[in-house]
Structure 1
């Protein structure tokens, strides 16, 4: 098994495997194992977060499958901008969206590669913000303005007070953030 295959499908960690369509894209593009591990960690958080949201607030409508695909591929542009695997940068965002479109991924799914870093983008809806949130909380990073946008959506749609939505989301994000060290160790075990 190659390092990339271990990163995206290996059974030695308690993270769900990436969806087959994401694995096929990563393998075809020769993605580095570190990228595969990162995408797997974000995907795991997105699965948990979206499962919680569906159960706790069924009135909040979002496309869970799209969010999960977005989480599994959001940084795919880093196959073209590999330096951004270890240093901050945004060149991978539009590059990733273009790359997915060129590979036949529908625009409604490819967009996450372009929107995950800019939750204030006019195109960004609740689906995009959930991918962004998973991409932050996987490593325990909290982003107040992003979380506030999700809180406001929950409160509005569920018909509850903003503070109530905040407490609920905050509790879930704290639980997810508690696993950040293990996810970071998993990612960092793979070469850039």
Structure 2
């Protein structure tokens, strides 16, 4: 969609094939943009981190696709879109390693959550300047361990990054609001 950050081609085609509403495409584009910023920062700050960047970016670009099945959740709280999104992605041939983000983006506190899942969850919060301390602590712990760096150093750097991302949240929220909840 014009005026939005580009999505990965596969995600864009998938969203078009399920006739995703403009507001949803805008949201996914903006979260994807933030996820790319976070993933790029992780690669620079934590070179020892084993990270599936492609999975993070695809996950961010499709994490709410289940809202095409549950459009009421585009403008009201709800979690029915999470399993529905996973099933939709799997039905379209998306591999488990990529489809899982639709199901897990709101359950980042569960045991066994991958670094990639944490980063998609973080991007889904940070895009609108929502800071969740428990989530950020999990990310800091994971990154500090992978990079063999002091936790406080990673905390300070991530905090600076999230503050910069948060400073741009009003623009992202305005861009999303320019797009209608429903097609037509």
Q: TM-score range by the shorter chain?
A: over 0.9
The TM-score, its normalising length taken from structure 2, stands at 0.95
CA distance, structure 2, for counterparts of residue 154 and residue 18 of structure 1 = 26
Structure 1: distance between partners of 2:110 and 2:24: 24
Q: Distance in 2 between matches of 1:86 and 1:58?
A: 39
Following superposition, the deviation at residue 122 of structure 1 comes to 3.1
**Across the two proteins, how many residue pairs are aligned to each other?**
181
Counterpart selection for 2:126 from 113, 125, 137? 137
2:41 pairs with 1:52: yes
The 3 A distance-change label for structure 1 pair 123 and 30 is farther
- Considering Cα pairs closer than 8 Å and 6+ residues apart, tell me whether 1 or 2 has the greater RCO: 2
Which of 167, 171, 178 is the matching residue for 2:160?
171
Match 1:26 to one of 5, 12, 15? 15
Give 1:35's match in structure 2, choosing from 24, 29, 36: 24
Distance 2:177 2:113 in 1: 30
Q: 1:76-155, aligned counterparts within 5 Å? A: 76-155=65-144
Q: Deviations over 1:15-62 (max 9, x none)?
A: 530111111111111110000000000000001110111011111111
Distance in 2 separating the partners of 1:127 and 1:137: 15
2:22 corresponds to 1:64? no
- Choose the corresponding residue for 2:178, options 156, 167, 189: 189
Matched residue, 2:5: 16
Residues in 2 aligned to 1:123 and 1:30: alpha-carbon distance in whole angstroms:
33
Deviation at 1:158, TM superposition (A): 1.6
Gaps of 5+ in 2: none
Q: Distance in 2 between matches of 1:122 and 1:157?
A: 18
